[in-house]
Structure 1
Amino acid sequence: MPPPGAPAEELLVARLRSHARRLFWPAALLVATVGVTAYLYDNLPEGYENWMLLAGAGIIVLLLVVMPFLFWISRTFTITTRRVIVREGLGSRRRREVSHMRGYSISIRRGPLQRVWGAGTITLSDGADEPVRLVNVPMASLVHEVLADQIEVNQILAHRDAQSASRGY
């Protein structure tokens, strides 16, 4: 702990993405597309050419494999000792932050499949701004505990600093 009145250093606690299970179907489609393309290459019916097969396979892979992966990788949740940062977006980035010092309520919602995988959607609401949602977070119970601990530690530090400032230390 830093001495009273000294600013606490901001440290990285965790950096997360949504649960990767949503990439199962794109990965299965990639394997199937490569398999079908390899089987049909040079075995196409009369009137079709190999470039048509490759172009079709390329479009399928681009739209149904690469795009879902890019959307998944473009959203990150960062938890530090001072705040929670949510970054999302491919072309233009959107960034939202919630400070632990300010305090907020934490709610967790878990569907049946999320319970099986240990994931969940965590909503952070400070009552003033729009709630921040950490969608489909892996190890949701652990993330919930970490956030609650960070709020508690930051409020203890703020109270301690306020007490030492009022005493003139």
Structure 2
Amino acid sequence: MTAQQELRIATFRRGAELLVIPAVILIAVAGATGYLYSNLPDPYEDWMLLAAAGAIVLLAVVLPWWVWASRTYILTTRRIIVTRGLLIRRRSELMHAAGYRIDVVRGPLQRLFGRGTLILSSGGAELALKDVHSPRLVRETLSDQIEICQILAHRQAQQAAADPYMRTDS
């Protein structure tokens, strides 16, 4: 008997609506810098303007993008994987066959934008899928995968009990 092949169902992140304000700030900083460059009052110099614009872009544009891009959720046929970090990556995963509880938390703004946070807990392990689109669809998909994996594990256990010489290491 061959083992079930692991397939990727979906890869997703938090909602990108959080990046609208940084995009507006980037446009405003670029416009203001272009307008004020070489037109500053006497005690100020152009390098001061460029340094201030660079600091604003770094703190208000790059940092929010970095936080958004640093978390990825991968749903496969065997497990859910949460990766965090861009330079130093941390990875957490829950196997569907082990089963876990799925809680959906939605605040008023999340309801308005069709998002929610899914909290997956299995014994001591807990994963949070923050601010995902269509949390009901993601919850249903996770529930289906848990059920399928548990059925397959049960069938393999029955076949192994019926045939004690069956190879289970494949």
Bin of the TM-score, shorter chain as denominator length: over 0.9
Q: What is aligned with 1:138?
A: 133
Instruction: List aligned pairs for 1:1-169, cutoff 5 A.
Output: 5-127=1-123, 129-168=124-163
Query: Counterpart amino acid of 1:160?
Result: R
SS at match of 1:10: coil
SS at match of 1:131: strand
SS at match of 1:79: strand
**Identity in percent:** 52
- Runs of at least 4 residues of structure 1 off by over 2 A? none
Is there any run of 5+ residues in structure 1 with no aligned partner, and where?
none
Q: Deviations over 1:111-166 (max 9, x none)?
A: 11111111110011112x23111111112111111100100100110111111112
Query: Counterpart amino acid of 1:10?
Result: E
RMSD after superposition: 1.2
Residues in 1 aligned to 2:133 and 2:26: alpha-carbon distance in whole angstroms: 24
User: Across the two proteins, how many residue pairs are aligned to each other?
Assistant: 164
Residues in 1 aligned to 2:37 and 2:69: alpha-carbon distance in whole angstroms: 32
Does the 8 Å CA contact 2:69/2:86 hold for their aligned counterparts?
no
Query: Counterpart amino acid of 2:69?
Result: I
TM-score of the pair, normalised by structure 1: 0.92
